Amino acid sequence: MAPWLVGGAAKALFKTYGKGGVADRLPSIANVAISNVPGPQEPLFLAGARMRTFHPLSIVIHGLALNITIQTYAGSVDFGIIADRKAVPHVQYLADALEAAFDEALSLFVAPVAVPAPDLKPPAKRATTRKTTAKKGNDA
């Protein structure tokens, strides 16, 4: 099938879905989507400049009120929040609460206490003492 035909058909389908009101007649598939996308753990560079952070965004689809995407990169964790304005009118409150909860979780983390390594040296040898006995009959 010709690519232009597939592209044209998809474009017409999406136009009908959105502008034709089909989307409003279909039930929502979910209210919330949360995804965790692991990113590279080593820093990335472009033209010599280090990428400092990710700004994760995800797909917005009809009927989805809230999308939270979490992405890790080079030892950091970044959050992206996309919300339907009608369903979540004050998305900043959610972002602030998420940040506070994340900070609280970090404060509860207790690093393991360093345990000294066991001494693997063999025990030191004890000094031995010789008993000497005096011989009888050799009095001078």
Per-residue pLDDT for the chain (140 aa), expressed as one digit of tens each? 556 556 677 777 777 766 777 767 777 778 899 999 899 999 999 999 999 988 888 877 777 889 999 999 998 889 999 998 888 899 999 999 999 999 999 888 877 677 777 766 766 677 666 666 666 665 55
CA 103, CA 84: separation in Å to the nearest integer? Answer: 26
Is this model's pTM higher than 0.85 or not? no
Say how many C-beta atoms besides its own lie within 10 A of residue 54's C-beta: 20
| Residue 17 DSSP SS3 | helix
CA 118, CA 83: separation in Å to the nearest integer? Answer: 54
